[in-house]
Amino acid sequence: MDIRPIRTEADYKATLKEISALMESDPDLGTPEGDRLDILATLVQAYEAKHMPITAPDPVEAIKFRMDQNGMSVKDLEPIIGKSNRVYEVLSRKRPLTLAMIRRLHKGLGIPAEVLIAETAAV
């Protein structure tokens, strides 16, 4: 079994291609092909974690995303944030989230608090 670390983008792409081919053959666990697939997938995960980290979303974008997911309107956020003008100010980044808003957004929409307390990106 000739397996090497993934050090470059070319190594990464070649490994993904090999993983794809192995997945098409659907090897059984415990077979040499199944073990190879498992090892290559672990190497890809390690490479992606180091070179392609996933950053937390912007708080306002997280709120908008959850609104879109749940088919919500500005009116639906009024019990959580306040009157519609305040909701618009938050969504347009003109008003920061308060601690009370963060708590209610976390509890009401299930948005992680650590996402909501992050700095809001300037537009």
Mean pLDDT value across the chain: 93
Q: Which two tokens stand for residue 9?
A: 């983008």
pLDDT at 101 over 70: yes
| CA dist list (Å): 13 to 21, 30, 50, 54, 91 | 13, 25, 15, 19, 39
Reported confidence tier of residue 107, pLDDT bands at 50, 70, 90:
very high
Q: Is the pLDDT of residue 38 over 90?
A: yes
pTM for this predicted structure: 0.60
Across residues 7-25, what is the average pLDDT?
94
pLDDT of residue 123: 59
